[in-house]
Amino acid sequence: MAYSDKVIDHYNHPRNVGSLDKSDPNVGTGMVGAPECGDVMKLQVKVNPATGVIEDAKFKTFGCGSAIASSSLATEWLRGKTVDEALAIKNTDIVTELSLPPVKIHCSVLAEDAIKAAITDYKKKAAPVTSEAARV
């Protein structure tokens, strides 16, 4: 399979690889996928509680080159966005940016899911009472 230049670039030079402190109340962690499916993404955001802006984003991905590129690109896009802006990122934006072929669309879906999971986790931590109430 031929990879687009952008996928190759993210694969060779992944942006924002690493981990943030999970116990930090301003850090949201999303982990999606499963080893038996061949891809697992961990995506973390660190939010400034005063402004609601994502100040840092990190990822680690087990998966094919397109999965690595999708999550690497996601962290680039997340930095500097507000939480609400981040939730507006769609998997189709990732498909377009990386020129993913149809068989790799699930990689972009996984990246969108990871963003949503990380932000949900942050919101839960930031307002435990509200989310508790919401659950009831």
Would you please indicate which residues are annotated as catalytic (active-site) residues? 37, 107
Q: Which range of residues in 45-53, 83-91, 102-110, 127-135 is near another protein by CB under 8 A?
A: 102-110
What are the two backbone dihedrals, phi and then psi, of residue 16, each rounded to the nearest 5 degrees? 55, 45
CA distance 121 to 28: 5
| Best CA proximity match to 107, nearest among 43, 63, 76, 77 | 63
Looking at residues 56 to 85 of the shown chain, list those that interact with another protein (rule: CB under 8 A): 60-65, 67-68
| Best CA proximity match to 76, nearest among 96, 101, 97 | 97
CA distance 73 to 12: 13
CB of 15 to another protein, least distance (A): 11
Q: Which range of residues in 40-48, 74-82, 85-93, 126-134 is near another protein by CB under 8 A?
A: 40-48
Looking at residues 82 to 101 of the shown chain, list those that interact with another protein (rule: CB under 8 A): none
Tell me if residue 29 falls in helix, strand or coil. Answer: strand
Q: Catalog residues that contact another protein under the rule CB under 8 A.
A: 1, 3, 8, 11, 14, 17, 19, 31-42, 60-65, 67-68, 103, 106, 109-110, 113
